[in-house]
Chain A
């Protein structure tokens, strides 16, 4: 029986990979085109510093996007990642500022908080069967409120690079200004791509996203693996929180909502289907770079803010249209 399903699945699976690859290629070319366009239009854009700026803008969105890719592949959504990112960082910063924890311990606490809320989301969706949109909308509010409660609505400042506890910043930028964060982002992306495509949990997540019932009937513990996707999402939101703190130093309670949409936009531009079952980490990363290159590049051609939003919106719509057209061809 096993042989039979494999035989039936292979051509479709091959076709799928082909079209996902096609999408990735288009997105990659679009990214190059956007970068070249800004480089021609603006001289200062061509600098190494601007490239570092694009990386800086990509770290936190990138981590959130890698994590939420897994949730979106299951056919769900995680709206809480934006506020969770800020909430984890606020908690870590408060532990450092108010309670004098060493920064290493604070960063572990940040990860723990992220994983905890990821698990909470996962249990609500997979065990309690709450719609992910509503469950994570609730967590979004909870984490936003929690950040304000813990900080007593005051902003939190992380140690600067020159401070004793500033060593964690070298994860993202070395003392001689090398953007080490891009290495970290790429390494984690490669690991997560392997997890998604080459390991059992990843394959189960892909499988339950395309057909939950069939996956369950073939004896896979869908509850467990669906829950895992949300835990991954929460953990990566915590990494995003650390990246945010290292890049922007000061965090304000009450912020963070809206970040998740940037991350989700990156995921969708990268070819992951909101319907679930299809997706790739590499595509997500490309999508994130498109978003951040646009966001950093548009001000360089001296466009006023409203035009920047306008154009970013158009690019998003165009990217999703390409995706929809491709997937229509697939079926």
Chain B
């Protein structure tokens, strides 16, 4: 594993060095900073983390839609896989060499792209981050980001779960439990989706007169536990010891085995899948049984929603990610002041999953 990562890095460094030499030779006379005056349309280059995946197709669709509305020409490219760092660096370099009015970027590896980002800055090409953006980029290099606010998205999951369990949770005799399976404790986005869910759930539960302030205990993983062990509602966060199907499934099974479990949330595709796999023997999920809510999509999760095992899930909105990125890019190209945009998240269930607004956001 390490060897192959190193190999890619070496390739990336080699490609960078070669391109830097070419750039130094050819780029000396380059003076035309912002492009797009001839045809009237601003030219925007977009470099994504992938190309073939449904998610990126949806991003592209949104970007082209915004391009049409705002009079911008979009050139959307992406590497063959999310490990093809060198290929992506080359794509970014090509994009910068075209002197577009703005560059939209979802970087695979920030360090590998630093040189190219520097060149874009020198050429005064504004860079907009989209999807996961360019995490850890030097201050000021990225003028704005169009990305999902995962904390708010976790809240959407909590709101919809609350709708389904409100009657039962307020009339419950004794304590009830809400389980959460989270993939790991280090990922920023998963952490936000979990924390957003927990905080929103506490807020909603404590607003119920039957429960009241201080009635919710958060137990399980240290990162989320609130110190209370007793309450009318216990939220239990479980994180598998390793990101493997077996470990995840076992954590989900221990939650499903608890007799006081009322609802369960999986904060990404992996966690939702683990809940579904654990349920296969336990058969605890269903509209009149344990209420389950997921995040993202994937064939297994979509099937679980169709068959009623899950009441629904939250998905990011890739169409909006593309749309907002281009909107920011056009504004930045005009020299307007831009700031980060939350591209939102959508709730989907068996009823609305084929809607025109939802369908492009889901992947198998």
Which residues in A have some Cβ–Cβ distance to B below 8 Å? 44, 47, 49-50, 52-53, 56-57, 141, 144-145, 148, 152-155, 157, 160, 173, 177, 244, 247-250, 254-255, 257-259, 292, 295-296, 298-300, 302, 304-306, 308-309
Task: Check: B222 CB closer than 8 A to any chain A CB.
Answer: yes
Is residue B173 contacting chain A, with contact meaning CB distance below 8 A?
Answer: no
Q: How far is the CA of A173 from the CA of B282 in the complex (A)?
A: 13
Name the CB-closest residue of A to B282: A49
Q: Which 3 A-B pairs have the closest CB atoms?
A: A44-B257, A305-B241, A157-B299
A300 pairs with B222, CB closer than 8 A: no
Q: A53-B253, A145-B4 given. 16 additional CB < 8 A pairs? A: A47-B257, A49-B282, A52-B281, A57-B246, A141-B3, A153-B50, A155-B298, A157-B298, A250-B298, A255-B244, A258-B242, A299-B238, A299-B251, A300-B254, A304-B239, A305-B242
Interface size on B, residues (CB 8 A): 41
Q: Indicate with 1 or 0, residue by residue over B197-232, a CB within 8 angstroms of chain A CB atoms.
A: 000000000000000000000001110000000000
Q: Within the assembled complex, what's the spacing in Å between the Cα atoms of A255 and B248? A: 14
Taking the closest CB of chain A, its distance from the CB of B221, in whole angstroms, is: 6
**Which residue of chain B is the closest to A305 with respect to CB atoms?**
B241
Q: Could you jot down 7 A-B contacts, CB within 8 Å?
A: A53-B250, A53-B253, A153-B82, A157-B300, A247-B245, A254-B83, A299-B250
> What's the least CB distance linking B191 to chain A, in Å?
15
Judge whether A309 and B242 touch: CB under 8 Å.
Answer: yes
Residues of B with C-beta under 8 A to A300: 254, 257
Instruction: Indicate whether B133 reaches chain A with its CB closer than 8 angstroms.
Output: no
Q: Does B1 contact A (CB under 8 A)?
A: yes
**Nearest neighbor of A162 in chain B, beta-carbon distance:** B307
The residues of B with any CB-CB pair to A shorter than 8 Å are 1, 3-4, 50, 52-53, 80-83, 220-222, 238-242, 244-247, 249-251, 253-254, 257-258, 273, 276-278, 280-282, 298-300, 303, 364
Which B residues lie within 8 Å of A153 (CB)?
50, 53, 80-83
Minimum CB–CB distance for A300 against chain B, Å: 5
Tell whether, in the assembled complex, residue B81 and residue A148 are in contact, meaning their CB atoms are under 8 Å apart.
yes
Contact B273 A177 (CB under 8 A): no
Min CB distance B179 to A, Å, is 12
Q: Chain B residues near A254 (CB, 8 Å)?
A: 83
Closest residue on chain A to residue B253 by CB atoms: A53
Tell me the nearest residue of chain A to B254, going by C-beta. A299
Contact B254 A44 (CB under 8 A): yes
CA distance A153 to B220 in the complex (A): 33
Report which of B1, B80, B83, B300 forms a contact with A249, defined as CB distance below 8 A: B300
Q: B273 is contacted by which of A145, A244, A249 (Cβ under 8 Å)?
A: A249
Query: B5 → chain A, closest Cβ, in Å?
Result: 11
Query: Is there an interface contact between A305 and B83, defined as CB atoms closer than 8 Å?
Result: no
Assess whether B281 is in contact with A177, with CB atoms less than 8 Å apart.
Answer: yes
